[in-house]
Amino acid sequence: MFNSLTSIFKQLIEGQDLSKNQVASPNLAIASLLCEVAGADHQIDESERVAKLQLIQRLLGLDEEQAKALLEQAEPKVEQSVSLYDYTSQLRELSQQVRIDLIKAMWEVAHADGEIDPIEDSVIRKTAELLYVDHSDFIKTKLNVIGKI
């Protein structure tokens, strides 16, 4: 993250356009959010990689090759991003149910390795707030994923 901030300051000093850091499409924003939560604890387990791929296929109706290509685009974006707002600002226009489904998918990625790290929880919580997902839906999706409902 520090490198990302340094990069932004350098771009500002040099007068470069900061808009190139923004994600280009809603699908890429969704894939980036799933990558963000998978890497939040700095340990991306193979089960999290598989979960990301399967969830992108399910959420976006893509085949495996399209989902892999989208993930290949998203992963570098996540490394360059300084804020979840880069992704969520494009997704607020989605229906409430789609936004809830995205939060549930983020929980599924976070729980794919059998536990939810507090940093992963924090990323999902902040994303839910930025997407205007009700706290009750945030909690319901979490409990549903971890098998408490």
CA 12 to chain centre: 26
Whether residue 20 is contained in a domain is answered as no
Q: Report pLDDT for 21.
A: 45
CA 30/CA 88 separation, integer angstroms: 8
Sequence-ordered list of residues with C-beta below 8 angstroms from that of 63, at least 6 positions apart, any chain: 57
Structure tokens that stand for 140 in this block: 């319901």
Q: Report pLDDT for 74.
A: 92
Whether residue 9 is contained in a domain is answered as no
Whether residue 52 is contained in a domain is answered as yes
Sequence-ordered list of residues with C-beta below 8 angstroms from that of 119, at least 6 positions apart, any chain: 40, 41
**Residue type at 133 in one-letter notation:** V
The domain of 107 spans 25-147
Q: Report pLDDT for 6.
A: 53
Counted domains in the chain? 1
Here the CATH number for the domain that contains residue 132 is 1.10.3680.10
Whether residue 5 is contained in a domain is answered as no
Whether residue 135 is contained in a domain is answered as yes
- Nearest alpha carbon to residue 106 among 129, 80, 82: 129
Structure tokens that stand for 38 in this block: 């998978």
**Does pLDDT of 3 surpass 50?**
no
Alpha helix ranges (H) inside 24-149: 26-38, 46-60, 64-80, 85-88, 96-111, 118-130, 135-145
Whether residue 58 is contained in a domain is answered as yes
For residue 2, name the pLDDT band (cuts at 50, 70, 90). Answer: very low
pLDDT tens for 78-131 read: 888 888 988 898 898 899 999 999 999 999 999 998 889 999 999 999 999 999
pTM assigned to the model: 0.81
pLDDT tens for 8-54 read: 445 545 554 444 444 568 999 999 999 999 988 888 889 899 999 99
